Amino acid sequence: MNKLLACILVFFLVQCLTWFQLNGQFFSSWFKNNNLILCLFGIPISWLYIIATRYGYEAFDGILWPGRLLGFSMGMLTFAIFTWIFMSEGINTKTVVSLVLATALVCIQIFWK
């Protein structure tokens, strides 16, 4: 259970960092004007993706798919939340359905044995 929690937390963290790396340019002049620095942030971000994938692999007894779907779902959740908070893009019905499906994917991977 510790590896699963670590997988979820690291995927959440790295998805947050990725969101800022890619989308910060649309609301911050610093992000827009410092592309090289943002590219360099790709190194620790990649390392965190590797760590999260390892935790997921270990949490699911050597199976890759559940961890991959957790990473995808964390990306959906963070993208929806951060885009709403930082870009003022509302969450419409289509987004709600997508988030419900992402949550269902996580629940299936965690609870379906």
Q: How many other C-beta atoms can be found within 10 angstroms of the C-beta atom of residue 63?
A: 12
Residue entry with tokens 């999260």: 52
Q: Is the pTM of this model over 0.95?
A: no
pLDDT reported for residue 79 = 92
Report the b/e string of 67-97 with b at 16+ CB within 10 A: bebbbebbbbbbbbebbeeeeeeeeeeebee
Confidence (pLDDT) at 108: 85
pLDDT digits (tens, 9 = 90+) for 31-43: 999 999 999 999 9
For range 88-98, the mean pLDDT: 88
